[in-house]
Amino acid sequence: MPPRVGPYLLERKLGSGGMGTVYLGTHDQTGEHAAVKILPAALAREPGFRERFAREVETVRRLNNPHIAGYLASGSVDAEGNLLPDTAPGAPGSGEEAEPTDDALAFLALRYVEGETLLVRLRRERRLPWRAAVDLGVQICTALKAAHDAGVVHRDLKPSNLILTPKGNDDPGGVGHVTLVDFGVAQLFAAGRLTQTGGVIGTAEFMAPEQATGKRVDKKCDLYSLGAVLYACVCGVPPFRGQSAVEVLQQHRFGQFDAPRRYAPDCPPAVEAVICELLSKSPADRPADARVVSNRLSAAVRREDYATGTPAPDSNRESSGESTGVPPDEAVPLPDRPTRPAKEEEEERAGIEPASTVSNLGGATIGRSLAGTSLHGATLSKEDAEGAANEALAFPREGPGPATIVRNGVVRALEETDETGPVARFFEQTWVLISALALLIAGGVLWFELQAPELPPPGEMTVGQHLAAARAALEQSPGAAWSDARDRHLAPLLAPEGIEAVEKASAEAGNPGEPLTPEARAYTLEQARKLADRVRRYELERAVLRPNLAEPPTNEAERFLRLAVHRTLTGDRPAAARTLRHFLNATSAADPDRRLAQNRRIAQAMLADLTIPPPAVSAMADKALDDARDAAETGDPATARRVLDGLIGLYADDPAAETLLDDARDLRRSLEPGESEPGLMEEPAAGR
């Protein structure tokens, strides 16, 4: 690594990840510190990594917020660290990015943020006080709102990407200043995707359910991750845990987390409600945006302060004039509230309006009464008195307070109620209203039961009733009701001559249905098969997710389908697609076995869901094949065979490398026509 990158002198390594290494750098002219992220030359030559790095540069350029590590510079440098402006990734106005040289290094410089990560803090303290967690959430919302307004989804919000910078004595017990970092996997709303369909990017413990399935994400995905972070701060544990990432992702999709107050009983219900709403499975059930979350968290703190009588943190500053922009030394204190006569207080307690209330006094009267009085040792002039009068009208300090006014209004309302007639008073009684509501509910339930047709037992149902009952059951959440509906309503229809048997049984029971035409019979069978296949696919996924509770596979076909489901859930979609293709090729569509036919239909449906465009073969494979050709042409067949064996072993199962594999195998046979093709890469001999 060169000692400098462009204008930055590299001091020490801060960390590393999948997209490069981060160093602490100092600008050689300004002395400003920066976090310099460097993409190695080997990765910079790969188009996919180079495009993703350029995407990160484009992302951070858009963001300008004190809670986000801001953009400073970017570009490419040679082996000595000299800037190469023509190959700068993401350079504005560069219509086409030039191809980097073999030793070029791409870099991105961001504002350096001092402090520790939230992950380090949680490992040390396990959890945060709920007020500190709310403060953290409000600051994160500020960063997310800025990112979302710029069209950026972070996609990897987690404790290790949040840096806490202490504020000193001004923030006792707080989290300090929060900075959101690492937009390396961020996605622009309007930009094309660099990952293939179904690609899962993020951290399992803080990943939204829709992100876990590889679907396209939006800002609601970041809000779910924010809820998981707040849950971990308040409770000391993430909302879902498991033995593997796959288990955690499945819990995000289908599991139910414990209530935060189980771990933190002092957490206010309003804060708990915000966290639970953020962790909703459906994006539509989460708050609208980060600003709404920030406002609700702040309101929850104010509500708790009011309930407990805790003074607001900024009350002293507001009273001194700071909140209005007036310097503290120029702020004029308001006059002390005068003591009210005892007679007026007795009249107020008796419900009599005192004669000296603001509503009964004009501004001129107040001004005359204040003129010439002494205020903190100074005598008020006539103009000052009129100003005080206006202030008194806007902010009354005499007369009945808000509680007294409300009490008097309630007393008057009760007096007016007593003047109503006996019929009105009868219907205003609580027990009468409750009885009327109960009668209304009972009548509605009775009407609904009378309107809903009563279905006969399954043995007496018509074909249409069986199909309708199965559809209604499958509209519910997946569970035992699905399997029961399949056995009770779909199995009779799918049995050999099942529709004829159902029609005969229903007619003998006095429940004849409409006669079905051949087309209607075929349509009914097709719909019944689709519903039964849906139930069977759910049972396969359940068996993979809960292997301890599932029965062993009953045949080889079921075993291979479970294997394909497992590979799909673990993210290995190409391997799952290969398993399904092999299964379909090895079985016959003409086989009379009905269970095999169903397994083939399920395999075809799963394969259709997994169909993705094949990725391009990397430049490394093309270069290796060229090296093997050069070695063969220069009279070094041993080296050529070793390279070819490695290529064949690495890409044997990659459908995108079919052309490359054909060329490699042809060249391998030409070198040793009598030797069989190796299946695995051979270890290089010593000295090669």
Instruction: Identify the active-site residue in 135, 156, 182, 222.
Output: 156
Q: How far is CA 551 from CA 263, 540, 559, in A?
A: 36, 11, 11
Which residue type, as a one-letter code, is found at position 416? E
Residue 607 near residue 561, CB atoms below 8 Å: no
The contacts of residue 47 (CB under 8 Å, 6+ apart) are 619
Q: How far is CA 397 from CA 162, 165, 343, 356, 363, in A?
A: 47, 44, 17, 11, 14
Using CA atoms of 657, 658, 663, 665 in order, give the dihedral in degrees to the nearest 10.
Answer: 100
What is the rounded CA–CA span in Å between residue 219 and residue 292? 13
Give the number of other Cβ atoms within 10 Å of residue 90's Cβ: 20
Radius of gyration of the chain (CA): 37
Q: What is the DSSP string of 400-460?
A: --HHHHHHHHHHHHHHHHHTS-HHHHHHTSHHHHHHHHHHHHHHHHHHHHHHSPPPPPGGG
Residue 637 near residue 671, CB atoms below 8 Å: yes
Closest to 142 measured CA to CA, from 238, 64, 207: 64
For helices 219-235 and 130-149, the axis angle rounded to 10 degrees is: 170
What is the rounded CA–CA span in Å between residue 671 and residue 377? 109
Indicate if the alpha-carbon torsion angle 310, 316, 318, 319 is positive or negative: positive
Residue 300 near residue 271, CB atoms below 8 Å: yes
Residue 185 near residue 201, CB atoms below 8 Å: yes
Q: Phi and psi of 109, rounded to 5°?
A: -105, 125
Residue 563 near residue 547, CB atoms below 8 Å: no
Q: Per the structure block, which two tokens stand in for 669? A: 């046979």
Residue 115 near residue 43, CB atoms below 8 Å: no
Residue 208 near residue 217, CB atoms below 8 Å: yes
Q: Per the structure block, which two tokens stand in for 331? A: 């702020």
CB crowding 111-127: b at 16 or more within 10 Å, else e: bbbebebbeebbeeeeb
What is the rounded CA–CA span in Å between residue 664 and residue 628? 9
Residue carrying structure tokens 């996605």: 187
What is the rounded CA–CA span in Å between residue 634 and residue 628? 10
What is the rounded CA–CA span in Å between residue 371 and residue 385? 5
Angle 140-146-147 (CA atoms, 0-180°, nearest 5)? Answer: 90
The yes-or-no answer on residue 591 being catalytic is no
E strand or H helix that includes residue 136: helix 130-149
The contacts of residue 570 (CB under 8 Å, 6+ apart) are 246
Which residue type, as a one-letter code, is found at position 112? Y
Report long-range pairs for 265-268 (Cβ below 8 Å, ≥24 apart).
266/130, 267/130, 267/234, 268/130, 268/300, 268/303, 268/304
**167 is annotated as contributing to ligand binding:** no
* Annotated binding-site ranges: 37
Which residues participate in catalysis according to the annotation? Answer: 156
